[in-house]
Structure 1
Amino acid sequence: MRPQSKVEGETGGNLTTTLKARSPTATSMRSFLIRLSGAGLICVLSLAEAHARTGGEPVAVPQIDLAPCLAAAAADDMDKAAPACAAVIENEKTAKEDLIKALIARGALYARRGQIDRAIADDSRALLLDPGLADVFNARGELWLKKGDKPKAVQDFGAALKIDPNHEKAKANHKAMARELERLGAQMALAGKPSFNCARARKTVERAICGNRELADLDREIFAANARVIREARNPAGAKALQREQDDFIARRNAEFGRPGYDLRKAMQERLQRINGVDGY
């Protein structure tokens, strides 16, 4: 018989029982380590595969080629420019400088093709990205002018000059528009006012003219047109003849107003047409 060890003697059957009680924990730990090793292996393999695909270099962000957009826009080729520029403009990774160039190029192409609203939209987006573009402000001002929005045109021309006081096109455009707005303002101030002072109107026909905006405007236009042709007359005798014709019209108007069949508006329109060249002036 094998002699009983000291341990066995001290613990009896308790050691076997203790090892059996601990075995599930050891098994669970071993299983966990195996699973962990598998996950780590998969991770390592994935990294190795990515490394092999890129040759060990970081993945590069593909660059958008701006050249086809600029070339097609410069050649006025809408079929090629539309997709080429859209590829640059709609890509979130396009550099800011390239995006501005593409917007300006496409906007200019739209403008040449008469697509004013689209051109304004591209120029406006470019100006949001860079508010210091004097050329683009001037270009957009000219587009506003084509749309008939003179206040916005003047505003853009002024913005261009604020950036570049020596911008020749913007200076010429701003000056022309300032004169036009001044003229329109004067016309608005005179709208509905005849050539004479209504506070001193005594004749019935004069009071009728003062009470009607259309007749008042016609009277003022007749007066201005008559003054112009007299000023442009070839000689003093011709100027006197023109003034005498105007005086005859006024006398006839005053005498015939209120009579059956007399149409004051029609008579004034015919007089204005005659002065402005219908009958040889």
Structure 2
Amino acid sequence: MRFRNLIQFSVAAALSALLPGAADAATGGEPAQVDIASCLAAAAADDMDKAGSACAAVIDNEKTARPDLIKALIARGALYARHDQVDRAIADDSRALLLDPSLADLFNTRGELWLKKGDRPKAVQDFGAALRIDPNHEKAKANHKALSRELERIGAQMAVAGKPSFNCASARRPVEKAICANRELADLDREVYAANARVLREAGNASEAKALQREQDDFVARRNAGFGRPGYDLKKAMQDRLQKLNGVDGY
């Protein structure tokens, strides 16, 4: 629903930016007699059947003036988007942007569609294009900021993925070497370390923090001593420790 509302808002702004008298200037003479009203009305009424034929008659007509063609593409693209036909919506918006690459609202709209499709790089590129055209475009600014932060977070996670809380180059104990050699165990070790650091930060006083750190030290000591013994499950031990740090319901 959020994406549908965003798309409807952005498309309305894009259509309003196209001046009704631009057809004469684009053709250099009399505008072509093409019935764009039926296309726009059907799309606004969310009538897929009528809009399909009415908009196709405008879009596929060689006599359609450029401004009318852009309007029809935007209207049909918005209709496709409302009905979750994202690829078709992107195709119509892309064609409209080729005809007029100055439409900041439409770049933002297509960015939202890319985001819905899960293509973050193309989405952030379109939000950026909208802002280059209109640096004060509020929706594009909000979208670009939120997505940029998400990409930074993902990048940070990828940078430490498969790396434990300690330096593997200085690992000496067998358990440490085992953790370094296994991506899942390395991620678990890092999560345990981060969870313990959070618990210490949230401690009510120094005495409580000291007791909590003693629990972590005891866990590490048991882990070091237990690794390699029959029946000892390192992964389960680390998962149990993480669950205890985060609480039964998680953090």
TM range, normalised to the smaller chain?
0.7 to 0.9
Quote the Cα distance in structure 2 between the aligned partners of 1:279 and 1:179: 27
Percent of counterpart pairs with the same letter?
Answer: 81
Query: How well do the aligned residues superpose, as a CA RMSD in angstroms?
Result: 2.2
User: What is the match of residue 26 of structure 1?
Assistant: none
1:158 paired with 2:128, answer yes
Paired AA for residue 231 in structure 1: R
SS of 2:232 mapped into structure 1? coil
Say whether the 8 Å CA contact 2:243–2:250 is kept in structure 1: no
User: What is the match of residue 137 of structure 2?
Assistant: 167
Quote the Cα distance in structure 1 between the aligned partners of 2:234 and 2:242: 12
Q: Deviations over 1:86-122 (max 9, x none)?
A: 2211212111101111111111121122111111111
1:75 maps to which of 32, 42, 45: 45
User: What is the match of residue 6 of structure 2?
Assistant: none
- How does the TM-score come out when normalised to structure 1? 0.72
Point out the structure with max Rg over C-alpha: 1
1:277–1:105 distance in 2 versus 1, CA, 3 Å: farther
User: What is the match of residue 86 of structure 1?
Assistant: 56
User: What is the match of residue 262 of structure 1?
Assistant: 232
SS of 1:91 mapped into structure 2? coil
1:137 maps to which of 107, 111, 115: 107
| Relative contact order, higher structure (CA 8 A, sep 6+) | 2
1:253–1:130 distance in 2 versus 1, CA, 3 Å: same
User: What is the match of residue 83 of structure 2?
Assistant: 113
Shift in Å, 1:239: 4.4
1:222 paired with 2:154, answer no
Quote the Cα distance in structure 1 between the aligned partners of 2:208 and 2:229: 33
Shift in Å, 1:242: 4.1
Q: Which runs of 5+ in 1 are unaligned?
A: 1-59
Shift in Å, 1:62: 6.6
Quote the Cα distance in structure 1 between the aligned partners of 2:65 and 2:202: 62
Q: Which runs of 5+ in 2 are unaligned?
A: 1-29
User: What is the match of residue 147 of structure 1?
Assistant: 117
- The aligned length equals 221
Quote the Cα distance in structure 2 between the aligned partners of 1:271 and 1:166: 49
1:123 maps to which of 80, 83, 93: 93
